[in-house]
Every structure is written in C-alpha cells, then in structure tokens.
Structure 1
C-alpha cells in the first residue's frame, strides 16, 4: 500500500513513542483488514508514553490502510498539534478520545468503531445479550452511553466518562463500539471479541428462533477463565502473530 510520502519521525521521537506509533499504526491496518473501518470517520488513539496530556490519533482524511507510524498526528488535551503535521484531526474523534484519556490514567489506547453489527446492537434496547461465549467477556465489564448527536459538544465529555467509569468495553447507543485498555494489543483484542459478539447476536436474531441465554453463574466466572486462556497475557497472546501477518502482507505501517 503506497501512502502519501511523510518523512520518518523515528529519529525525532523517543524509542517508546516510536514503538507506540508502530503498534497504533498496526491497529489501524488490522481494523481495515477486517473490514471494520468506516471510510475516514472512526478513530483509534494512544497516549504518548511518559506524557500526561499528549496522544496520537489518525490524520483526518486518510483511510485506515494508509496510516503509518510517521503520519499519525500528535495532539494535546487542548486539541493543539504538538509536532508539525499537514493533517488535521477529526473533531468528534478528539472529543471522545480526549475525554477518555483525560479521565482514565489506565486508558493508554482508546478504540472506537462504527461497524454495521456493532451499531445494530447499539440500537437494541437490551444491548448486548449473553447468548454466546464471546459476549461474556464484554458483558463482564460493559458500560453504555446514550446518544447525544455527533460528538462535538465538550459538555458531553463529563457524561461519557461518568458512564464509562472503570469499564473497558462501552456501547455508544445508536452510534457504535468503544474499548479502552492499557495497551494497543489489549484494546484491539477487546474490540475483536465485542465485535464478534455483536456479529453473532445479529446472526442469531435473524434466524427468528428463540435464543438461549447463558446462565448468570457462568458469566460471574468469566474473568478468571479469560486469564487462564490467555495465560495472563491478554492481548499480547495474539498481538505478535498479528504483527507478523502485517509484516508479511504490507510492512509499510512501520514507516
């Protein structure tokens, strides 16, 4: 994939920031590869390591398949570019992501999508249903936020972070899905699982047959089971393999 030429910033940033840039660019490419992007209208952000108010986000106007480590835009909580970039950022994306990064010190990565199945589930009054193994993981740590229109109102930030609380999974009603985590790998894995749960729910409902809910006592024990399955590594159990796949198919995300 050829992208607009942007000089590499690798030697102008710390090693930690460069690694975060590579992981974030990889996440954008993975979302595109799964078909979960929405032209240029959703966003993934990552806090710049060793800073309190700076984060990286996509250049507004580029497709996710065009994102590279160097063309990510670095902004602060005021929405100001911290380093030179010819690109702007999505104002709605800034509202959502700046709110979560500011409120949650553990939210080093915030991932927001508008997938068809995710939005479809977000329109349902009962939200995500406990009908699949995949649904149990987000249900163990899930928040909801009511729709307030396109996220341009700074006052919505207070309500969004209050609704999010300490959760890592959120359904934005009538809007889409959001995950946040201490690493890009974890945020991606959380989104992968929640997206799969939504796909399964929509397919199951389309059959017209009565659905069988999973007993509450199984849901109660899902976190311990998750830690055992991933050997405590969470997203890192799959992330290295995903990076290897990207490097085989198109390594330009690391530019």
Structure 2
C-alpha cells in the first residue's frame, strides 16, 4: 500500500499558501475538538522563505472562523509584517523562542484544552497506556517553572530549553505545547496528547492503570509515532474540514 506524503512544491509561493491553508484547517480542527477557550491558544507555521518569521492566528478571532487570509506574519522581534490583526504577546514569546531553538520545527501548537490543561496540574509524564500514549513515551517533558502568562523572554527561553528535541512539553498549571516538521504533525500530536490525557484520567479513575512495557512502548512510538505517520493521521480530518468548510482555504 502506498501512503500519501506531504507535497513537494515548485515555488516558495505555493508552499507558503499551503502552509497557511493547513494552519487555518488545524485551527478549525481545534475548534471542532473543543480546544478553544476564549482568546487563548495559538498555532504557528514557519514561513518557508523567511525562517525567522512565522504565521499565526490573530488574537481574538475564533478558531472556528479562521481562514488562510486571516493569518498574520510575525518576525522574531514581534513585528507584524503582513496581515491585519492583533498579535498575542504570549504566543509570540513562546513560539519565537521555540522556532529559534528548533530549526527542524515548522509548526508549534498550544491551546487551553480540557484534559491537557488538567494534566498540566499533575506534575508527572503521560504513561504509555494506549498506542497514542506510547507515542509520547520518553518524548515529552515537564516544564515545572511556568507561572502563568508567558510575557517575558527568559520564561519563553526556558520553555524552549526544556522542550529540547522532544515533540511535546507540558507547562505546569497551563497546558501543553507540541511541535512538528509540518503543521499537520504538530496539530496531530496535540490531538493525540489530549486523547492520551483523557484516557489516563479515565483509566486511573477506574483503578490501577497498567502501562505498556517500555520496550513495547518504544516499538509503537518508533513505528506509529513518526513525523510522516502523524502527518498522515491528520489527513482524514483535514479532508473533512475542507469538504465541509471550503472557505477555510480563502
């Protein structure tokens, strides 16, 4: 069986449009999953031509109404260089430091989702209770110094430093940040982490949860938890949203 793969583009303009459209779809996916909480939350996508700039949702526009044309382009000094809208300062601080520290990262996602936010108060890593949980085995970290809104450079740098080479970081009493080589990957890791946190809460409420053995968890992570697998896992949701809400691509 031949699986679909991310497109290869003939021009930077085509690639930029695709990233913006996928970012808008990812934001609508977050709305569909109920990850919207007031004005909180943001997903970014590095610009393919200018690596020190990223596209992000404007502050105060609902995830479920996002279109590609609504996104704003921000540089690492916090200046909006393209688009109309207000920049979320916390989004700029966190994402600019993550993008600067991780050249391999194209996209980063953060939202105040219910189970991810609840899990951030637990002070411990997700266990490999399911295949989705296995994907984060030994590949997510806890950031224990977080104190709320990230408005200072040093706080944001500390988040990026703790994230290191991992795919996710849990911000104490705040929520989760996931990253990926594509917008689709970063969005899927966020969805998968939320699912894993939900499952662990359910399992532990019923009794003593039994995690997978470490060697089994690693096999699942290294097989099903690759960047390509995450990208592919997001495609059915991408297709559904584009079919039902074609204006997202505008």
TM-score, scaled to structure 2 = 0.89
Shift of the alpha carbon at 1:127?
3.1
Q: Which residue of the other structure, out of 239, 250, 254, is the alignment partner of 2:245? A: 250
Shift of the alpha carbon at 1:84?
4.2
Contact 2:184 2:234 survives alignment (8 Å) = yes
Shift of the alpha carbon at 1:26?
0.5
Which deviates more, 209-218 or 74-83? Answer: 209-218
Q: Distance in 2 between matches of 1:53 and 1:103?
A: 11
Q: Which residue of the other structure, out of 191, 206, 231, is the alignment partner of 1:236? A: 231
Which deviates more, 210-219 or 14-23? Answer: 210-219
Pair 1:129–1:241, CA change in 2 (3 A): closer
Aligned residues: 238
Q: Distance in 2 between matches of 1:126 and 1:224?
A: 22
3-state secondary structure, aligned to 2:127: coil
Contact 1:120 1:202 survives alignment (8 Å) = no
Q: Which residue of the other structure, out of 209, 226, 231, is the alignment partner of 1:211? A: 209
Pair 1:224–1:254, CA change in 2 (3 A): same
The C-alpha deviation readout for 1:157-198, integer Å capped at 9, x for no partner, is 221121011011111111101110110111122112111100
Pair 1:134–1:73, CA change in 2 (3 A): same
3-state secondary structure, aligned to 2:108: strand
Q: Distance in 1 between matches of 2:76 and 2:30?
A: 25
Contact 1:140 1:223 survives alignment (8 Å) = no
Q: Distance in 1 between matches of 2:34 and 2:14?
A: 31
Structure-1 residue corresponding to 2:132 = 134
Structure-1 residue corresponding to 2:221 = 223
Contact 2:110 2:177 survives alignment (8 Å) = yes
Say yes or no: does 1:191 pair with 2:190: yes
Contact 1:40 1:64 survives alignment (8 Å) = no
3-state secondary structure, aligned to 2:241: helix
**Alignment map for 1:152-167 (pairs within 5 Å):** 152-167=151-166
Specify every segment of 5 or more residues in structure 1 that has no aligned partner in the other structure, as ranges.
1-12
Structure-2 residue corresponding to 1:52 = 51
Which deviates more, 188-197 or 127-136? Answer: 127-136
TM-score, scaled to structure 1 = 0.88
Q: Which residue of the other structure, out of 92, 95, 109, is the alignment partner of 1:97? A: 95
Say yes or no: does 1:178 pair with 2:170: no
RMSD over aligned CA atoms reads: 1.7
Shift of the alpha carbon at 1:50?
1.9
Q: Distance in 2 between matches of 1:212 and 1:201?
A: 10
The C-alpha deviation readout for 1:116-148, integer Å capped at 9, x for no partner, is 111111111323223233211012311221223
Shift of the alpha carbon at 1:212?
1.5
3-state secondary structure, aligned to 1:61: coil
